[in-house]
Structure 1
Amino acid sequence: MKNPKNIMVCVTQQKTCERLIKRGAELRDEFDGELFVIHVAKEGWNFLGKTKEGDALEYLFQKSKSYGANLTVVRSQDVLETLKDLTEKHNIDTIVLGESQENSEENNIVSKLGKRLRDEIGFEIVPVKIKKKVV
């Protein structure tokens, strides 16, 4: 019997969140854990970078619900500290993130967050899907 593992999916922009939630659901099913979808917005910023926050939040809620995930949306001055707190609160084993466009170590969210978390927490990085050119 496998040990259940809790999965946290960090989402930012609604257009890319479904592939992350889907991957989180696959991991949750594989390890019999719970799935938590988290969006932390910096205080003063629009959620999901959209002016139509209601539509964006409804989309995120529906996608999370369709994969059987718990959704948490929070505003915070310190996004990384809030994510750390949520990993502890929900006993998270693996964090699913989209591939960062930031190559430098000091600006990469995985590097920054990883330094704040306990060593046992793993990361699953979902690559950006590249659309193939039709010739």
Structure 2
Amino acid sequence: MNPSVRNILVCVTQQKTCERLIKKALEFSNAGDSIYIIHVAKDNWSFLDNDREGEALEYLFGIAKSVGANLTVLRSDDIVDTIVEYARENKIDILVMGDSKGDHSENYFYKSLKLSLDHVEIHVVPN
């Protein structure tokens, strides 16, 4: 296996605006790199009953397919641990995530990921 090949993980929400995160991952990628896209929904979130969120996820599935990536949707009440586990299982080298809107919980989200994935290069994309 080529040691310069990297695995890139994009963390998305159920919003069409997350397309910018996928495009940013493409900027970081080189030929042969793999791009993974993940959306973690809390167990009690019902995105399939919500037309807007379902439509956004369908849109993101299309974007993922167009860049040769898979969009994985997982359910968990512990979003950070789920992303960390997924990143470790898939040997992720670079993680791309969106910026918060000044929300301190997002700050916590970034810090928790950074602490658990200290070997992963994390890029926060501004809104």
The answer to whether the superposition gives a TM-score over 0.5 is yes
Please tell me whether the aligned partners of residues 36 and 70 of structure 1 are also in contact (alpha carbons under 8 angstroms): yes
Q: 1:71 maps to which residue? A: 71
Q: 1:1-135 counterparts in 2 under 5 A?
A: 3-29=4-30, 32-47=32-47, 51-52=50-51, 53-102=53-102, 104=104, 107-117=107-117, 119-128=118-127
Question: Counterpart of 1:125 in structure 2: which amino acid?
Answer: V
Please tell me whether the aligned partners of residues 100 and 109 of structure 1 are also in contact (alpha carbons under 8 angstroms): no
TM-score, length-normalised on structure 2? 0.85
The two structures, once aligned, show a CA RMSD in angstroms of: 2.3
Please tell me whether the aligned partners of residues 16 and 59 of structure 2 are also in contact (alpha carbons under 8 angstroms): no
Q: 1:131 maps to which residue? A: none
- Tell me the percent identity: 46
Deviations 1:70-111 (A, max 9, x none): 210011121111000100111100100111223648843211
How many residues align? The count is 125
* 1: CA distance, partners of 2:106 / 2:7: 27
TM-score, length-normalised on structure 1? 0.81
Cα distance 1:79–1:103, how it changes in 2: closer, same or farther (>3 A)? closer
1:47: Cα distance to partner?
3.4
Q: 1:132 maps to which residue? A: none
SS at match of 2:116: coil
Structure 2 runs not aligned, ≥5 long? none
1:54: Cα distance to partner?
3.4
SS at match of 2:93: strand
Cα distance 1:63–1:106, how it changes in 2: closer, same or farther (>3 A)? closer
Greater radius of gyration (CA): 1
Please tell me whether the aligned partners of residues 38 and 71 of structure 1 are also in contact (alpha carbons under 8 angstroms): yes
SS at match of 1:17: helix
